[in-house]
Chains A and B, each alone.
Chain A
């Protein structure tokens, strides 16, 4: 049981490049989400999903796309990287519904856009 696996751990992109951050969980959680963490800003929700085939925007969705084709995987795509997207990104998963549980976080991706 690996929990939430997030890759890569570090990434440097040039402005305008695209990339995909991978996130996978093996806990059969319905709910998955992506956050970005900037200094002094806490965790801001980018996109989330309540199950396979269902995604929705969070607080800061611009410049990012997601899809949820399986329960296990929830990749985050940066379409055209900008320096403002330099941040630490966390994927998280949890069960949902009336019996909520904690959010389990991946190890994080430190992304630098130059």
Chain B
């Protein structure tokens, strides 16, 4: 079955710096890769996603890259702000079944 590994587990950055979170997956059939942000006590919310026929996608300060050959995908947050502090999850999906990474606790210090 699918296995998604996510690194790092915690990430502390200064406000204005960039944050990068990396994930790897094992199932070659995976074709959809969403990223979720979860604030304390809230449900996970989608922030960006990428499909297997695309190598990179950007939405304002957030970007995601996908390397299908290496089975790697990454989340990049530029110009971090205190409100970016949260837990971020990557996921891989093939034919409906999601497998989530273990999550990255991001702390942005002013």
Contact = CB atoms under 8 A, between A and B. Distances in A.
B89 interface: yes
B89 A43 contact: yes
Nearest to A104: B46
Interface string B54-90: 0000000000000000000000000000000000010
B96 A94 contact: yes
A100 B99 contact: no
Interface residues of A, number: 26
A102 B43 contact: no
Q: Is the interface of B mostly helix, strand, loop or mixed?
A: strand
A92 B98 contact: yes
A31 B49 CA distance: 18
Interface string A82-114: 000000001010111110111101111000000
A3 B99 CA distance: 21
Interface in B22-78: 31-32, 34, 42-46, 49, 51
A33 interface: yes
Contact of A43 (B44, B45, B46, B93): B44
Contacts of B31: 98, 100
Contact of A97 (B9, B89, B96, B103): B96
A106 B93 CA distance: 19
Given A31-B97, A42-B100, A48-B97, A103 B91 contact: yes
A92 B95 CA distance: 15
Contact of A105 (B9, B43, B96): B43
Contacts of A105: 43-45
B100 A43 contact: yes
Contacts of A30: 96
Interface of A: 30-31, 33, 35, 40-43, 45, 48, 50, 90, 92, 94-98, 100-103, 105-108
Interface of B: 6, 9, 31-32, 34, 42-46, 49, 51, 89, 91, 93, 95-103
